[in-house]
Amino acid sequence: MEVHAASFIRQRRMVLDRALLAHPPELARILIHELFHFAWVRLSNADRLNWESVLAREFERRARGELGWSSELRKSELAADAARVRSRAWRDYACESFCDTAAFLLAGLYRHPEFNLKPAFRRGREAWFAGFFRHREGGLRI
């Protein structure tokens, strides 16, 4: 499995593949994804549950696809009752989808082979992020 980056939250460290320097748009997408791993751990439990509710609605509507390889892989491994049970696999998926969605929204890429979530679901996620940041005085502290 090819991996371009990794975040080590407790060490406050990130590693990026040097080859990404030759591909600035991909570097931006992956860097934003990794930065949002640091944001995820700073979210309150209520905020995480709120994000999970967006995903649970998509799951109920049988949304296919994702906004990145990492979340799509985890989504493909979920059981039918994953959203209701809130298994470790579900929580891992929620984290990866949060990071992939942030990268989709902020990296400035409008097309990518990994962006295969239908536009209606993309808009729902965009609305969640917009509302989340609009209601944070001073933004999210990472």
Per-residue pLDDT of the chain (142 residues; tens, 9 = 90+): 566 767 778 888 777 788 877 888 888 998 999 999 999 999 999 999 999 999 999 999 999 999 999 999 999 999 877 778 889 999 999 999 999 999 999 998 889 999 999 999 999 999 999 998 887 665 555 4
Q: What domain range includes position 22?
A: 5-134
Domain membership flag for residue 140: no
User: Beta strand pairing status for 13-16 and 5-8?
Assistant: antiparallel
Domain membership flag for residue 44: yes
Domain membership flag for residue 141: no
Cβ atoms within 10 Å of 44's Cβ, excluding its own = 8
Q: What is the DSSP string of 57-111?
A: HHHHTT----SSHHHHHHHHT--TTHHHHT-HHHHHHHHHHHHHHHHHHHS--S-
Give the pTM: 0.84
Q: How many domains does the chain have?
A: 1
